[in-house]
Structure 1
Amino acid sequence: MAGVSVAAEWQLLYNRYYRKPELYQMQWKHVDLTRNKVACAPFGGPIAAIRDDAKIVQLFAESALRKLRIFTSSGRLISETVWKNPGGRLIGMSWSDDQILICITQDGTVYFYNIHAELINNFSLGKECFESSVVECVFWGNGVVCINELFGIFAVPDLKNPRAIKMSDCNLEDLPHCIAVIEPQYTMSGNVEVLLGVGDHVLLVEEDGVQQLGVGIGPLQKMVVSRTGKLLASFTHDGRLLVMSTDFSNIIFEYTCESALPPDQLAWCGMDSVLLYWDDMLLMVGPYGDPVRYIYDEPIILIPECDGVRILSNTSMEFLHRVPDSTVSIFQIGSTLPAALLYDALDHFDRRSAKVVYLYYLNASRNYILMKSFSSSYLPLGYENLRLIRSSLSEAVEACIDAAGYEFDISQQRTLLRAASYGQAFCSQFQRDFIQEMCKTLRVLNAVRHHEIGIPLSIQQYKLLTPSVLINRLINAHKYLLALRITEYLGMNQEVVIMHWACTKITASLGIPDASLLEILLDKLKICKGISYAAVASLADKNGRRKLAAMLVEHEPHSSKQIPLLLSIGEEDTALVKGIESGDTDLVYLVLFHIWQKRPSLEFFGTIQARPLARDLFVTYAQCYKHEFLKDFFLSTGQLQDVAFLLWKESWELAKNPMASKGSPLHGPRIKLIEKAQQLFSETKEHIFESKAAEEHAKLLRIQHDLEVTTKQAIFVDSSISDTIRTCIVLGNHRTAMKVKTEFKVSERRWYWLKVFALATIRDWDALEKFSKEKRPPIGYRPFVEACVDADEKAEALKYITKLTDPRERAEAYARIGMAKEAADAASQAKDGELLGRLKLTFAQNAAASSIFDTLRDRLSFQGVS
Structure 2
Amino acid sequence: MAGVSIAAEWQLLGDKYYRKPEIYQLRWKNIDLARNKVACAPFGGPIALIRDDSKIVQLYAESALRKLRIFTSSGHQISETIWRNPGGRLIGLSWTDNQTLICITQDGTVYRYDIHCKLIEPNVSLGHECFEHSVVECVFWGNGVVCMNEAFQLFCVSDLGNPKVSKLADTGLEEFPVCMAVIEPQYTMSGNVEVLLAVGDHVLLVEEDGVQTVGEGLGPLQKMVVSHNGKLMASFTHDGQLLVMPTDFSSIIFEYACESALAPEQLVWCGMDSVLLYWDDMLLMVGPYGDPVRYLYDDPIILIPECDGARILSNSNMEFLQRVPSSTESIFKIGSTEPAALLYDALDHFDRRSAKADENLRLIRSSLPEAVEACVDAAGHEFDPSLQQTLLRAASYGQAFCSQFQRESIQEMSKTLRVLNAVRSPEIGIPLSIHQYKLLTPSVLIGRLVNAHQHLLALRISDYLGMNQEVVIMHWACAKLSVSSAIPDATLLEILLDKLKLSRSISYAAVAAHADQIGRRKLAAMLVEHEPLSSKQVPLLLGIGEEDTALSKATESGDTDLVYLVLFHIWQKRPALELFGMIQARPLARDLFICYARCYKHEFLKDFFLSTGQLHDVAFLLWKESWETAKNPMASRGSPLHGPRVKLIEKAQNLFAETKEHVFESKAAEEHAKLLKLQHELEVSTKQPIFVDSSISDTIRTCIVLGNHRAALKVKTEFKVSEKRWYWLKVFALVTIRDWDALEKFSKEKRPPTGFKPFVEACIDADEKSEAVKYISKLADPREKAEAYARIGMAKEAAEAASQSKDGELLERLKNTLQQNTTASSIFDTLRDRLSFPGVS
Give the TM-score of the pair, scaled to structure 2. Answer: 0.95
Following the alignment from structure 1 to structure 2, what is the Cα–Cα distance between the partners of residues 692 and 129?
82
1:139: Cα distance to partner? Answer: 2.4
Partner of 1:24: 24
Change (3 A) 1:647 1:337: same
- Give deviations 1:30-84, integer Å, cap 9, x for gaps: 1111222222111111111122222222222222222221111111111112222
Please state if 1:500 is matched with 2:475. yes
Change (3 A) 1:232 1:739: same
Q: Structure 1 721/381 Cα, relative in aligned 2: closer, same or farther at 3 Å?
A: same
Q: CA deviation at 1:405?
A: 0.4
> What's the secondary structure of 1:452's corresponding residue?
coil
Q: Is the 8 A contact 1:180 1:196 kept in 2?
A: yes
For 1:226, the equivalent position in structure 2 comes to 227
Q: How far is 1:400 from its partner?
A: 0.4
User: What residue is the counterpart of 2:179 in the other structure?
Assistant: 178
Residues in 1 aligned to 2:239 and 2:803: alpha-carbon distance in whole angstroms: 144
Q: 1 CA distance for matches of 2:810 and 2:195? A: 114
For residue 88 of structure 2, give the secondary structure of its aligned residue in structure 1.
coil
2:361 partner SS: helix
Q: What amino acid is the match of 2:607?
A: D
Residue 835 of structure 1, CA deviation = 4.5
Match among 417, 424, 440 for residue 465 of structure 1: 440
* Cα distance in 1 for residues equivalent to 2:764 and 2:106: 110
Q: Within 2, Cα distance between the matches of 1:794 and 1:216?
A: 118
Report the 3-state secondary structure (helix = DSSP H, G, I; strand = E; otherwise coil) of the residue aligned with 2:69. strand
Map of 2:47 onto structure 1:
47
Q: Which residue of 1 aligns with 2:661?
A: 686
| 1:474 alignment counterpart | 449
| Paired residues for 1:265-304 under 5 Å | 265-304=266-305
* Equivalent residue letter for 1:112: R
Given the superposition, is the C-alpha separation of residues 125 and 820 from structure 1 closer, same or farther in structure 2, using an over 3 Å criterion?
A: closer
The CA deviation string for residues 300-320 of structure 1, in whole angstroms up to 9 with x for no partner, is 111111111111111111111
Find the aligned partners of 1:672 and 1:230 in 2 and give their Cα distance: 85
- In structure 2, the partner of 1:2 is 2
Give the Cα separation in 2 of the matches to 1:781 and 1:104.
106
Q: How far did 1:836 drift?
A: 4.6
DSSP-derived class of the 1:251 partner: coil
Task: Tell me what 1:83 maps to.
Answer: 83
1:305 aligned partner: 306
The SS at the match of 1:203 is: strand
2-structure distance, mates of 1:864, 1:155: 110
Residues of 2 paired with 1:812 and 1:90: CA distance?
Answer: 112
**Maintained 8 Å contact 1:265/1:302:** yes
Which amino acid counterpart does residue 276 of structure 1 have in structure 2? L
Q: Find the aligned partners of 2:12 and 2:182 in 1 and give their Cα distance.
A: 31
- CA gap of 1:663–1:825, structure 2 versus 1, over 3 A, is farther
Residue from 404, 418, 435 that aligns with 1:429: 404
Matching of residue 649 in structure 1 with residue 650 in structure 2: no
1:247 paired residue number: 248
| Inter-partner Cα distance in structure 2 for 1:294 and 1:156 | 37
Give the corresponding residue for 1:551: 526
The verdict on how the C-alpha distance between 1:739 and 1:284 changes in structure 2, with shifts beyond 3 A counting, is: same
699-708 or 71-80: which moved more?
Answer: 699-708
Asked if structure 2 preserves the Cα contact closer than 8 Å seen for 1:681 and 1:691, the reply is yes
Given that 2:629 and 2:636 are in contact with CA atoms closer than 8 Å, whether structure 1 keeps it comes out as: no
Q: Deviations over 1:131-157 (max 9, x none)?
A: 333333332222333333444444433
| Alpha-carbon separation, structure 2, partners of 1:527 and 1:241 | 57
Answer yes or no: is 1:419 the counterpart of 2:394.
yes
| Structure 1 counterpart of 2:556, from 581, 590, 593 | 581
Closer/same/farther in 2, CA of residues 424 and 852 from structure 1, 3 Å limit: closer
What is the match of residue 486 of structure 2?
511
- Distance in 1 (CA, whole Å) between partners of 2:838 and 2:213 is 135
> Does 2:593 align with 1:618?
yes
Q: Is the 8 A contact 2:238 2:263 kept in 1?
A: yes
1:727 is aligned, of 686, 702, 706, to 702
Q: Which moved more, 1:238-247 or 1:27-36?
A: 238-247
Moved more, 207-216 or 553-562: 207-216
Conservation of the 8 A alpha-carbon contact between 1:667 and 1:705: no
1:752 to 704, 707, 727: 727
1:156-208 superposed Cα distances (whole Å, 9 cap, x missing partner): 33323334444444444543333222222222333322323333333333344
Q: Which amino acid in structure 1 is aligned with residue 834 of structure 2?
A: R
Partner in structure 2 of residue 453 of structure 1: 428
Cα deviations across residues 755-796 of structure 1 (Å, max 9, x unaligned)? Answer: 223223323333233322222222223333333344444444
Deviations, residues 263-319 of structure 1 (Å, cap 9, x unaligned): 222221111111122222222111111111212222211111111111111111111
| Whole-Å separation in 2 of the counterparts to 1:538 and 1:864 | 91
Pick the aligned partner of 1:531 from 499, 502, 506: 506
Distance 1:789 1:175 in 2: 109
Q: Could you report, residue by residue, the CA deviation over 1:590-649 in whole angstroms, capped at 9, with x for unpaired residues?
A: 111111222222222112112222111111111111111111111111111111121222
1:118 maps to which residue?
Answer: 118
Identity %, equivalent residues: 82
SS at match of 1:614: helix
Structure 1 residue identity aligned to 2:296: I
- The change in CA–CA distance for 1:706 and 1:385 in structure 2 (over 3 A counts) is same
Q: Give the partner amino acid of 1:306.
A: C
Q: Give the counterpart letter for 2:655 in structure 1.
A: L
After superposition, give the CA deviation of every residue in 1:800-848 in whole Å (9 maximum; x if it has no partner).
3443444444444445555555444444444445545555556656666
Partner Cα separation in structure 2 for residue 211 and residue 817 of structure 1: 103
What's the counterpart of residue 763 of structure 2? 788
Q: Does the alignment pair 1:190 with 2:191?
A: yes
CA separation of 1:330 and 1:664: change in aligned 2, threshold 3 A: farther
Provide closer, same or farther for how the CA distance between residues 729 and 191 of structure 1 changes in structure 2, counting only shifts above 3 A. closer
* CA drift at 1:677: 1.5
Cα deviation for residue 721 of structure 1 reads: 2.2
Output the amino acid matched with 1:84.
Answer: R
Contact 1:67–1:80 at 8 Å: present in 2 too?
Answer: yes
Render the CA deviation track for 1:375-405: whole Å, top value 9, x for unaligned. xxxxx22122222212111111110000000
What is the Cα-based RMSD across aligned positions, in Å? Answer: 2.5
- Unmatched 5+ stretches in structure 2: none
Identify the range of structure 1 (78-87 vs 407-416) with the bigger mean alpha-carbon deviation: 78-87
- The offset of 1:256, in angstroms, is 1.9
The partner residue of 1:774 within 728, 739, 749 is 749
Encode CA deviations 1:706-730: one digit per residue, 9 max, x unaligned.
2222222233222222222222222
Q: Are the aligned partners of 2:637 and 2:643 in contact in 1 as well (CA < 8 Å)?
A: no
Q: Which amino acid aligns with 1:254?
A: E
Q: Distance in 2 between matches of 1:644 and 1:570?
A: 36
Contact 2:14 2:291 in 1 (8 A): yes
Could you tell me which amino acid in structure 2 is paired with residue 69 of structure 1?
A: R
What amino acid is the match of 2:31?
Answer: V
- CA 827–524 in structure 1, closer or farther in 2 if over 3 Å, else same: closer
One-letter code of the match for 2:18?
Y
User: Counterpart in 2 of 1:593?
Assistant: 568
State the partner residue of 1:363.
Answer: none
**Mapped partners of 2:817, 2:167: distance in 1:** 104
Contact 1:663/1:712 (8 A) holds in 2: no
- Structure 1 residues 12 and 727: CA distance shift in structure 2, 3 A: same
Q: CA deviation at 1:412?
A: 0.3
TM-score (norm 1): 0.92
Query: Could you tell me how far 1:667 is from its partner in structure 2?
Result: 8.8
Higher alpha-carbon deviation: 773-782 or 586-595? 773-782
Q: 1:217 to 1:817 in 2, by over 3 A?
A: closer
1:254-265 equivalence runs, <5 A: 254-265=255-266
